[in-house]
């Protein structure tokens, strides 16, 4: 039995994310390099502590598969930070970090409310048939999907800031668009992969694909918005940042409904 409590790790991590969001807000406003450094360090530290907290929780529970939307949200937070550090590594994109970390704080608030304050796992977002390898793979793919969409949505938020607002570190519209689209296509691809694996698992387990117990309705909902956004972005004239923001919003709404 592990005596350490995951709440300590998650509490410090939450504070780190708040500091990172503040630091990136300074980056956006003033374009200071030192603020970028603070944002990167606190964001990375928050991700590490969140991951350690999740590992502690799972070790205490004696399992390695995530259960419920709360635990999945914690994993998504970690992946979102990693995705931001990878996709937004160009210096001109650092101002976009404020949007990303605002969404990360929002998601982490949901996760902590669900797991710590309410003390429940929430509705199993990625439950359903299969168990074992398929369920693990699906959880991983869904977490990657939502993490990337969150990052794209964060960039999209910054892209929505009116041009007349003073922001020395504002990334260019094209840079935001490229970064948001990169995040979107990785996220949408992982979401599609997760959905197909979920369908395979549900079929193998004999579930009806349309029943809530298959756990597919959540993914299908986000995927539907994702597909619609791709059509609008490709066939219409939407910018990628808008498409990504729409899908990230769908994810947040779904999560809110599930929590």
Partner 1 sequence: MATATEYTTGPRQRDVLDALWRLFSSPYLTLALAVAVALALLVAAALPQQPEAAHSDAVLRSQWLALVHRRYPTTGETLLAVGALNVFHALWFRLLIALLVFNLCLGLINLAETVWQSRHSLAVRRPESFFAEENSTVSLTTSLPWDEALGRTRRALAATLARPREEHAQEVAYFHADSGPWPLWGALALHVGVLLLIAGGLVSGRFAWQTEAIRLGVGQQAAVHGTRYVLRLDDMAVEDGDFRAGVVLLEGGEEARRGVITAWRPLRGGGLTVRGVGYGPAVVVRATDNTGQPLMLQSFVEEAEPSRSVYLSFGAPGEERHFAVLERGLVVRLVLIARGDADAGPSFHVQAYQGNSVEPVFDGTLVASDQVEIAGDYYLVDVEHYALLQARHDPGQGIVILGLLLACGGMMLMMWKPRAQAWALVAAEGGGVTVKVRGAAKERDQRFVCLIAEVERVLATPETKDDRRG
Nearer Cβ to partner 1 (42/244): 244
Q: Residue 10 Cβ, how far from partner 1 at the closest point, in Å?
A: 26
Q: Residue 38 Cβ, how far from partner 1 at the closest point, in Å?
A: 30
Q: Residue 171 Cβ, how far from partner 1 at the closest point, in Å?
A: 13
Nearer Cβ to partner 1 (169/198): 198
Q: Residue 257 Cβ, how far from partner 1 at the closest point, in Å?
A: 5
192, 223 in Cβ contact below 8 A? yes
Nearer Cβ to partner 1 (107/254): 254
Residues near partner 1 (CB under 8 A): 123, 129-132, 174, 177-178, 181, 184-185, 188-189, 192-193, 195-196, 199, 203-210, 212, 217-218, 220-222, 224-232, 234-237, 239-240, 246, 250, 253-254, 257-258
DSSP assignment string, the chain: -----HHHHHHHHHHHHHHHHHHHHHHHHH--HHHHHHHHHHHHHHHHHHHHHHHHHHHHHT--S--HHHHHHHHHHHHHHHHHHHHT-SGGGGGGHHHHHHHHHHHHHHHHIIIIIS-S--S-TT-SS--HHHHHHHHHHHHHHHHHHHHHHHHHHHHTS-TTS--TTPPPHHHHHHHHHHHHHHHHHHHHHHHHHHHHHHHHHT--TTSGGGTHHHHHHHHHHHHHHHHHHHTS---HHHHHHHHHHHHHHHHHHH-
Nearer Cβ to partner 1 (90/168): 90
Q: Residue 259 Cβ, how far from partner 1 at the closest point, in Å?
A: 10
Q: Residue 191 Cβ, how far from partner 1 at the closest point, in Å?
A: 9
Nearer Cβ to partner 1 (42/214): 214
Nearer Cβ to partner 1 (137/217): 217
């Amino acid at each position: 039995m592990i005596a350490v409590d995951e709440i300590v790790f998650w509490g410090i991590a939450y504070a780190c994310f708040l500091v990172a969001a503040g630091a990136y807000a300074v980056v956006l406003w003033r374009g200071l390099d030192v603020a970028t450094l603070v944002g990167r360090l606190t964001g990375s530290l928050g991700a590490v502590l969140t991951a350690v907290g999740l590992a502690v929780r799972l070790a205490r529970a004696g399992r390695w598969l995530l259960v419920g939307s709360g635990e999945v949200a914690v994993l998504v937070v970690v992946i979102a930070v990693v995705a931001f550090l990878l996709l937004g590594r160009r210096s001109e994109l650092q101002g976009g970090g404020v949007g990303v970390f605002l969404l990360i704080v929002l998601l982490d608030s949901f996760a902590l409310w669900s797991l710590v304050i309410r003390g429940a796992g929430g509705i199993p977002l990625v439950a359903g048939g299969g168990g074992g390898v398929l369920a693990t793979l699906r959880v991983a793919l869904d977490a990657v999907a939502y993490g990337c969409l969150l990052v794209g949505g964060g960039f999209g938020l910054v892209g929505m800031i009116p041009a007349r607002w003073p922001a020395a570190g504002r990334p260019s519209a094209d840079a935001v668009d490229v970064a948001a689209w990169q995040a979107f296509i990785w996220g949408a691809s992982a979401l599609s992969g997760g959905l197909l694996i979920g369908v395979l698992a549900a079929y193998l387990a004999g579930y009806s694909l349309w029943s809530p117990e298959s756990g597919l309705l959540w993914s299908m909902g986000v995927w539907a918005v994702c597909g619609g956004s791709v059509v609008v972005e490709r066939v219409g004239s939407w910018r990628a940042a808008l498409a990504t923001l729409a899908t990230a919003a769908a994810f947040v709404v779904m999560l809110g409904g599930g929590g």
